[in-house]
Amino acid sequence: MLLYAALYIATSTARAPHLLSSVSAFLTSPINGPEPNATASAQLPKPTEYDPKLILGETHNTEYAGPPAGFNGTRRANATLLMLVRNSELEKAKQSVRELEEKFNRQFGYPWLFLNNVPFDKEFKEQMSALVSGPVTFALIPPHHWYQPDWIDEDKASQSRDAMVEQNIIYGGAVSYRNMCRFNSGFFYRHPLLQQYKWYWRVEPDVHFHCVVDEDPFLFMEEHDKVYGFTITLLEFEKTIPTLWPTVKEFIEENPQYVAPDNAMGYLSENGGESYNLCHFWSNFEIANMDFWRGEAYTEFFEYLDSKGGFYYERWGDAPVHSIAAALFLRKDQIHFFDEIGYEHHPFTHCPHTPGTIKKKKCTCRGWRSFDYQSYSCMRKWERIFK
């Protein structure tokens, strides 16, 4: 059984400097795991010649700083809209940005930050800059935050990928997908350009925002002691994470001090933590406080998971990793379900089900389309812990 501890978890408010004194050192120093070894990897060569200035980004629309109080007459939070995207996804990214600008950001004026594992091309930067209402920055992910670390046993990882391909598991053979999951789990909030921010709203290409967001979700969370916000919750594909929960149990047994009182274990498990029911928050939509990821509990948790190699030996996703951490290391009332934000990421849609909200928020979705109470959803398991 997982150990419970009625202990308050104080997340660290210390932040790394906004701009590193030596970006070159930042690019070459290892973050986690054993020191790189001399064994050649079957992976694509890691780039070594990127201009360090690309990490610090290129900002457009700098003449617009945004009104100090936001367009809606209230103060703004220390927050950014964040998208991880490839150059080839320009049209899909424009769709997502256009909708969120129309439904939310033209009223509130938050800056955008776009991250890529290769430099953004001119077309992407020009078209996206013309679309957004305020400052927008395009930056490169530090290579050692993205690529498979050298301490991973590539033979073992390759065998695992081949086995998943044979089982027809989605992204089973993709190293790039694993890189993305590991980056989103433990590195995005370490990017030097994110150090100036406390809050982020994760946005992905090719998503839809169906309702007007006329209340600032960042300020709502800040003023109500919320830390993590979601719109869709569902089951994970068990074959991608066979050893994740046993690893979580090991960590908690060794570090019971990090488990929050009144946590959301009842959402994750049917038997007090003996086994995992696969429920997680779909992390392609997240509004969250990065001080939680930067804090001691999550830092120790991620580094423990990362040391096991499960992001590459299996296909651990950032969604269950984030969800398990939030459910165990936060009080359940610090996690917020944004019912009023209509959201769609194919193939699932969340449409508000609070009476009157669809009309009030001018939603373009219909309640019958909502995924919330379908069989693969975990919404009922989320709601039960508050009864």
* Separation CA 185–CA 146 (nearest Å): 11
List the CATH number of the domain containing 320.
Answer: 3.90.550.10
Q: 191 with 250, same domain?
A: no
pLDDT of residue 26: 30
State how many domains the chain has.
2
SS3 384: helix
Return averaged pLDDT per consecutive 10 residues of the chain, 387 residues in all.
32 32 31 30 58 87 57 78 98 98 96 97 97 94 95 98 96 97 98 97 98 97 98 98 98 98 98 98 98 98 98 98 98 98 97 95 94 96 97
Task: Tell me which residue range forms the domain holding 314.
Answer: 210-387
pLDDT of residue 35: 31
pLDDT of residue 56: 86
Model-level pTM?
Answer: 0.87
89 belongs to a structural domain: yes
E-only strand ranges, the chain: 58-60, 79-84, 112-116, 136-140, 199-202, 207-209, 228-230, 233-235, 279-281, 286-289, 335-337, 343-345, 348-350
pLDDT of residue 74: 61
pLDDT of residue 223: 97
Q: 76 with 195, same domain?
A: yes
Q: 236 with 357, same domain?
A: yes
Q: 286, 314, 340, 344: which is the annotated catalytic residue?
A: 286
pLDDT of residue 265: 98
387 belongs to a structural domain: yes
Residue 151 contacts residue 33 (beta carbons within 8 Å): yes
Q: 387 with 280, same domain?
A: yes
Q: How many other C-beta atoms lie within 10 A of the C-beta of residue 8? A: 8
pLDDT of residue 3: 36
Would residue 286 show up in a list of annotated catalytic residues for this protein?
A: yes
18 belongs to a structural domain: no
Residue 74 contacts residue 98 (beta carbons within 8 Å): no
Q: How many other C-beta atoms lie within 10 A of the C-beta of residue 205? A: 20
Residue 210 contacts residue 342 (beta carbons within 8 Å): yes
SS3 383: helix
Q: How many other C-beta atoms lie within 10 A of the C-beta of residue 289? A: 25
Q: 203 with 274, same domain?
A: no
